[in-house]
């Protein structure tokens, strides 16, 4: 359908696989990573237009991933937790949108489509 490549990063396997399945069913190419360290490895090896990034993860969290990337692809930050205002201000240039978990599938698809448009 649209063919954009998306990296889904979440330490909760059920969340990661369900988000990936929703995106694949809408024509996205999807790769997955279970934490921030793995996400950085994947970004080095793959051309990705959009990253769906969980905030709280072991090893390296979503904020650490953003800090490690000078020019990240379009990032949709996803979390069940509210970000502190100072953290949000520090990363807002690198984030296209912020989604509060749980995310309805239609909203997820709309945000990823907007992010993919932002990336091109």
Q: Note the pTM of the prediction, 2 decimals.
A: 0.94
The separation between CA 35 and the C-alpha centre of its own chain, rounded to angstroms, equals 11
CATH code assigned at 9? 3.40.50.2300
> What is the mean pLDDT of the segment spanning 34-43?
97
Query: Does residue 3 carry a pLDDT above 80?
Result: no
Q: Is the pLDDT of residue 117 over 60?
A: yes
pLDDT of residue 23: 97
Give the chain's domain count: 1
Mean pLDDT, the chain, as a whole number? 94
The Cα–Cα gap between 8 and 31 comes to: 6
- The predicted model gives 7-29 an average pLDDT of 97
Domain span including residue 100? 5-119
């Amino acid at each position: 359908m649209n063919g954009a490549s998306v990296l889904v990063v979440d330490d909760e396997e059920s969340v990661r696989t369900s988000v990936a399945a929703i995106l694949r069913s809408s024509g996205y190419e999807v790769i997955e990573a279970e934490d921030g360290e793995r996400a950085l490895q994947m970004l080095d090896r793959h051309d990705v237009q959009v990253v769906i990034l969980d905030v709280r993860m072991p090893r390296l969290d979503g904020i650490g991933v953003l800090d490690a990337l000078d020019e990240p692809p379009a990032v949709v930050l996803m979390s069940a937790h509210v970000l502190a205002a100072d953290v949000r201000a520090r990363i807002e240039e690198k984030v296209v949108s912020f989604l509060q978990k749980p995310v309805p599938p239609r909203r997820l698809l709309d945000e990823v489509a907007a992010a993919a448009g932002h990336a091109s």
